[in-house]
A and B are shown apart, each in its own frame.
Chain A
């Protein structure tokens, strides 16, 4: 709440600033989008949602790159996935089959030279964080990472020190202003996907002047993914997390069972990942995933600063820990001091069936 008030306050200061000629300055945004299996990824749609706060007369173009039919399928879906999108650009080349930073950064440079956008935005996930700073360096501008609130076209709020402070920065450089946004701060309204009747036009990026040299210096080898039966951690409504208190990979199955019952995603602390209970892509925290579900349940999690950084914006936090002094209880809405090996089976038994 306090954050909201602050955000509104900084927005009003800005609007006072820009109430004169600036208000008419038009904003044009390029959103760097990621796609998989013929669909644009949810964090990229959040990036489009975030551009709404840039104000002015904003036109939003989406840039997709890849190769083959799945790219064009994704482009068709992207064209009608959000009412703000007015244009979809597609870069179709074998160079872009895998989202490597080297060709992508050159592509952004090329498209920016032609389109002269005022803003370039991507989601702050491993795709956006890898590509956008490289592209920013080619354009000689300072990017802003992990924005959680936009106040007009040049003032942004971002967390620093693992979310223990919020920093408001003003971009005072030349165009484009480049941002990665934290997708949990810009949820996509549920009705938005089907509200759009006419799809935005799709056009191909002319790659005849594209310098392929940069692309040959890095090659994609392989991707090993974990099986994804459960909802995606970043977008789940409920997250159940286990920490060191689970003691073994075998015991961690209790967390998975509970998650299954709740239709929840499974998260983990660094301690649980380092101890080999679960793969690293389940880590929640400053260096892992940032989540903000409706319900976050932490079992055997002490609540280190770095872990809290990844889940402090959850709506309701439940902590179960046998140490009554564990710092996690300071952020929990509901705390239960007890042995998780007794509590989880009881929860499994007594939790109402999911709707």
Chain B
């Protein structure tokens, strides 16, 4: 069985972002970019499944401008066998990404597709669900535990839901999206980074995959959120209780 993992290049999670003065978006020039943390977790899970002898190959996919190849190299250095880059300079919304992934699934025929539950830039939390819908595959979203049964061709997925954990049993092939607690992604070692340079990255364009980049959403403007007014520092518990009672009127 082959596993396909989707990885997105995003502004590093630790960066304090800046909104562009013309309100067209967020500054991404000269800003540190990394693999989306949830995608790292997705890739780590795929590698662990392969290491357990339940998968034969892990293929990492990234979509977007040329620099996405760096994200793929990171994935290859972590242990993915090969990469696929779908080259597009246009803004890609989750619906388009899902359609491109569906087209790649038809080429690659994986038994499992693993994605992060959301990208930390657009915070959409949609792509995995959408590609599962398009493929007619079952979905295990927000996974915190994945158990594969090769004989029965099923995946048992524990999901993080409101109010606790839910366990589902999915027939393979399936789509899984990862939550934070699924695993701890590994670091790429220097020898592996060197090795990754000789691994293959295939290139596709949306036209090759017969996917039309229609976009039914337009960004009108991006603004900074309202700033909270500066607070005060109190010196004692009494003062805190007094302020909460008489000034803020919340207790």
A123 to B199 Cα, complex, angstroms: 44
Tell which of B14, B217, B236 touches A172, judged by Cβ atoms closer than 8 Å.
B217
Shortest beta-carbon distance from B191 to chain A in Å: 30
Give chain A interface residues in 338-355, CB to chain B under 8 Å: 343, 346-347, 350-352
Residue of B nearest to A145 (CB): B124
Residue of B nearest to A130 (CB): B141
Is B167 positioned at the interface, with any CB of A under 8 Å from its CB?
yes
Q: Which one of A2-10, A58-66, A89-97 contacts B?
A: A2-10
Q: Give the chain A neighbours of B218 by CB distance below 8 A.
A: 169-170, 172
B237 and A347 contact, CB distance less than 8 A: yes
B234 and A281 contact, CB distance less than 8 A: no
Is B194 positioned at the interface, with any CB of A under 8 Å from its CB?
no
Is B168 positioned at the interface, with any CB of A under 8 Å from its CB?
yes
Interface size on A, residues (CB 8 A): 95
Is A222 positioned at the interface, with any CB of B under 8 Å from its CB?
yes
Q: Give the chain A neighbours of B16 by CB distance below 8 A.
A: 164, 305
The answer to whether residues A102 and B138 also contact, given A166-B225, A169-B218, A336-B234 and a CB cut-off of 8 A, is yes
A318 and B240 contact, CB distance less than 8 A: yes
Residue of A nearest to B229 (CB): A333
Binary per-residue interface labels of chain B (6-36) against chain A in the complex, 1 for a CB within 8 Å, 0 otherwise = 0000010110110100000010000000000
B217 and A170 contact, CB distance less than 8 A: yes
The answer to whether residues A10 and B160 also contact, given A295-B251, A317-B231 and a CB cut-off of 8 A, is no
B168 and A219 contact, CB distance less than 8 A: yes
B225 and A222 contact, CB distance less than 8 A: no
The answer to whether residues A287 and B118 also contact, given A134-B130, A218-B169, A219-B168 and a CB cut-off of 8 A, is yes
The answer to whether residues A318 and B244 also contact, given A165-B225, A336-B234 and a CB cut-off of 8 A, is yes
Best-surrounded residue of A221, A281, A333 (most CB of chain B within 10 A): A333
Binary per-residue interface labels of chain A (225-251) against chain B in the complex, 1 for a CB within 8 Å, 0 otherwise = 110100000100010000000000000
Residue of A nearest to B181 (CB): A280
Binary per-residue interface labels of chain A (8-51) against chain B in the complex, 1 for a CB within 8 Å, 0 otherwise = 00100000000000000000000000000000000000000000
Secondary structure dominating the interface of A? mixed
Q: Give the chain B neighbours of A305 by CB distance below 8 A.
A: 13-14, 16
Give chain B interface residues in 158-189, CB to chain A under 8 Å: 159-171, 174, 179-181
Binary per-residue interface labels of chain B (196-226) against chain A in the complex, 1 for a CB within 8 Å, 0 otherwise = 0000000000000000000111111111111
A346 to B11 Cα, complex, angstroms: 43
Binary per-residue interface labels of chain A (282-316) against chain B in the complex, 1 for a CB within 8 Å, 0 otherwise = 00001101000011000000000110000010011
A347 and B241 contact, CB distance less than 8 A: yes
The answer to whether residues A101 and B237 also contact, given A164-B225, A169-B218, A218-B169 and a CB cut-off of 8 A, is no
Tell which of A126, A138, A318, A334 touches B161, judged by Cβ atoms closer than 8 Å.
A126
Shortest beta-carbon distance from B189 to chain A in Å: 24
A217 and B137 contact, CB distance less than 8 A: yes
B136 and A214 contact, CB distance less than 8 A: yes
Interface set of A (CB-CB < 8 Å, partner B): 1-3, 6, 10, 100-102, 105, 125-127, 129-138, 140-146, 155, 158-174, 214, 216-226, 228, 234, 238, 262, 270, 273-274, 279-281, 286-287, 289, 294-295, 305-306, 312, 315-318, 329, 331-337, 343, 346-347, 350-352
Could you name 15 residue pairs across A and B whose Cβ atoms are closer than 8 Å? A6-B223, A100-B168, A101-B139, A129-B141, A136-B130, A165-B26, A165-B222, A171-B216, A224-B164, A281-B160, A294-B250, A317-B228, A335-B232, A336-B240, A350-B241
20 new A-B contacts, CB < 8 A, other than A169-B217, A221-B156, A352-B251, are A2-B226, A10-B220, A101-B141, A127-B162, A134-B129, A137-B130, A138-B134, A159-B123, A164-B17, A167-B219, A168-B222, A171-B217, A172-B217, A218-B174, A219-B168, A223-B167, A224-B167, A225-B163, A287-B180, A350-B237
